[in-house]
Every structure is written in structure tokens, then in C-alpha cells.
Amino acid sequence: MMQLHDMGRFGAGILLASCFNGLAAGQDLHFSQYFNAPLMVNPANTGFIPDANYRFGVNYRDQWTNIPVPYETMSAYGDVQLLRDRLTYGWLGVGGSVIQDDAGAGDLVSTSVYGSIAYHQLLGQSSLLSAGFNAGWSQKRIDLSKLTFGDQWNGKFFDAALPTNEPITQTSVAYLDLQAGLNYAYFPNENLYFNAGFSVQHVNQPKETFYADNNQIPRRYIAFLYISLKLSDMVIINPSGYYTNQANASETMVGGYISYNLSGDGDRQLLGGVFYRFGDAAIPMVGYQLSRLKMMFSYDATVSSLGNFNQHVGAYELSMVYSGSYERRNLFGRSRDFRCPSF
């Protein structure tokens, strides 16, 4: 199903009006590399870092560059594990993220800043349960001088000099936004890791509108599944699935990538795989990991009927994630890591 913010690329006035007055019909911003934007997917991912204690990441998405008004989405985040030496069977995760999106003909700019917290509880020696919460401030603004509307059609073209009766009462809106989520991880041995999570975004259903109405953002539900399986000292496969639903819009992705060991100790890895977004795009991706730094590139190749309008040119994404460790104590002689398979 087409994303609402994607549809906005094709129109100025009419589609923009439906975007503003009908946000309940669409979905939020998203990244195809959702697994590299963990705090955006689920606040329970805060401090949920296998084989590390802290991480920093950035994401960049540029969509439909062959259309005059493409979208750009950027995010940066960081999180850290705390109280590992004070809580016997768990720890606390704290973090934050910044997200900005620049969309469409009217320079619809969305900016969000979130702070998040999560608690992680070991369940024996091979599983972990996490619960997280975040709160943030979001703002959207538009530039009406760059827009035309349906009643400005002069018979030949849309004329911005003509008056409009479009009932926009403000060009900026801001609100408090709340999210909550749960995570479960199972790691019975060094060769298998299983992780599933569920989150609810816009728990408080904040009001978001440029009109004199009471339009609220509907809650968005996200579920994901991630598996890491070590086949040999050279190959680890990472299948994954993602589903989100908001109002009458949904998105389903399945696929995975392979990690190939380029050095004996796994310090250098080549990453490659493909995902498929049902009814929308095939998404090949490649990457490289050097020690603690992972870099990935993906491309959304449009396979839906939308390709008739954008010449099947979709979106590309870049991500970088750095994870690190600080000195920590052991629990009964063993580390409290919930380890993914590694080389």
C-alpha cells in the first residue's frame, strides 16, 4: 500500500490538502533498513545491544529523485546500557534520537526529538525480556507560498496569484508524542539468536492539523522478527520480517542479509541481501563492517504500478552504526551479554 507521505510527491494543492486534513489515512516516516533504526522502531530497543554497551547511528533516505519534489529523511540516535554492575539480573537503557523529513512541493518539514528509556531483565541464562518507553516533541511546518490549490486553476494551469479558499489556519503545529514497546530475545547457544518485538507509537494520539479541526494521529502498531544463524566460521545469515499498521494503511517487509567473514577474527565482514516490501518494492542491500563500525546501502526498486509514474526509480538509503564496550563486571563468572552469533 502506498505511503501517504509518498503520495504527496505527485501533487501540490489537492494532494497536499488531503495530506493535511487526512493524516489519519496514512503512515509515518519509515526506513527500509528498519533494523538499523532501532529506537525508531521500538523504544524497548534502547540499550538492547548484543555484544556492546553503547552505540551511535545515523540514517539517510532520499526518495524518488527523478520527481521535482523528492523526499529526504534523516535520523541520528544513540543509546547506552547503565547499572549493569548494580542490577543482578538486568540493566537499564537510556537514549535519544532526532528525526527530520523534508517532503513535497510545500516544503513540509517534520522534526522530532525523542528521549527513551528501557529496562532489560534476564530470564535465566538464555533469554531476555525488555520493556521501553519514549517521549518526544514533534513539529511540522509548511511554506504556503510554494503551493497551489484546486480553486486556483485558471483553465490552463494552477495560478498562485489567484485567491484560494483553502481553510488553512496555521503553517506550523507542534505536539507531545509518546511510544511504548516490548522485546524478547532468545539465545540458547553461540550459533542462534532470536529476537521479536512489538511497539505502539502515538499512544496519546496527539492532535496534528493545519486546519481548524481536531484531527488526531492514529496509533501505529509495529511488529518485527529477527533471527541470526551462524552456519560456519565464514557465514552468518540474518532473516527478518517487519509489519506495521496505522489506520487503513499497512506495510509488510520480509527478507534478510548474509554476513561473510573476510578475516579470520571477523574484524572485516561483507554484508549483502535483499528484502521485499509487499506490493511496492524489491530492496537489495550491501554493506561492510570494519570492527565496530557497520555501513550499509540499500535501494528501493519500485515494482508496483507506481513505477509507471516514477520510471521505477525508488529510494536509496545509507546507514552507519557504531557500537562499543566499556569495562563491565561478570555475573557469576559469565558476561551478561545476550550475544548474537559472531565470527
Phi, psi (degrees; rounded to nearest 5) at 237:
-105, 145
The CA–CA distances, whole Å, from 87 to 71, 120, 121 equal: 44, 10, 9
pLDDT exceeds 60 at position 23: no
Domain edges within the chain:
4-324
Q: What is the pLDDT of residue 176?
A: 96
- Is 4-324 CATH 1.20.1260.10? no
Over range 282-308, report the average pLDDT.
88
Q: If DSSP states are collapsed to H, E and C, what string results for the chain?
A: CCCHHHHHHHCCCHHHHHHHHCHHHCCCCCCCCHHHCHHHHCHHHCCCCCCCCEEEEEEEEEECCCCCCCEEEEEEEEEEEECCCCCCCEEEEEEEEEEEEEECCCCEEEEEEEEEEEEEEECCCCEEEEEEEEEEEEEEECCHHHCCCHHHECCCCECCCCCCCCCECCCEEEEEEEEEEEEEEEEEECCEEEEEEEEEECCCCCECCCECCCCECCCEEEEEEEEEEECCCCEEEEEEEEEEEECCEEEEEEEEEEEEECCCCCCEEEEEEEEEECCCEEEEEEEEEECCEEEEEEEEEECCCCHHHHCCCCEEEEEEEEEECCCCCCECCECCCCCCCCC
> If phi over 0 gives left and psi between -120 and 50 gives alpha, with beta otherwise, what is residue 138?
beta
User: How much is the pLDDT for 81?
Assistant: 94
Once rounded to an integer, what is the mean pLDDT over residues 169-178?
A: 90
Query: What b-and-e string marks burial along 89-113, b requiring 16 or more CB atoms within 10 Å of the CB?
Result: ebbbbbbbbebbbebbbbebbbebe
Q: What is the mean pLDDT of residues 290-303?
A: 93
**Confidence band, pLDDT 50/70/90 cuts, at residue 21:** very low
Q: Give the confidence band of 145 by pLDDT, cuts at 50, 70, 90.
A: confident
> For the chain, what is the mean pLDDT?
84
Please compute the mean of the pLDDT values over residues 149-169 and round it to a whole number: 79
Handedness of CA 216, 172, 94, 224 (dihedral sign): positive
**pLDDT, position 44:** 98
Conformation bin of residue 100: beta by default, left when phi > 0, alpha when psi is -120 to 50: beta
pLDDT of residue 204: 95
Query: Who contacts 232 (Cβ-Cβ below 8 Å, separation ≥6)?
Result: none
pLDDT, average across residues 194-219: 92
pLDDT at residue 104 in the model: 64
Would you say residue 195 has pLDDT above 50?
A: yes
Letter string b/e over residues 20-32, b meaning 16 or more CB atoms within 10 A of that residue's CB = bbebbebbbbbbb
Residue scoring higher pLDDT (238 or 303): 238
| Structure confidence by residue, pLDDT tens digits, 73-94 | 999 999 999 998 788 889 999 9
pLDDT digits (tens, 9 = 90+) for 31-60: 999 999 999 999 999 999 988 899 999 999
CA distances, 103 to each of 90, 97, 106, 300, 331 (Å): 41, 20, 8, 18, 49
pLDDT band at 163 (very low <50, low <70, confident <90, very high): confident
Report the percent of the chain where pLDDT is more than 90. 56
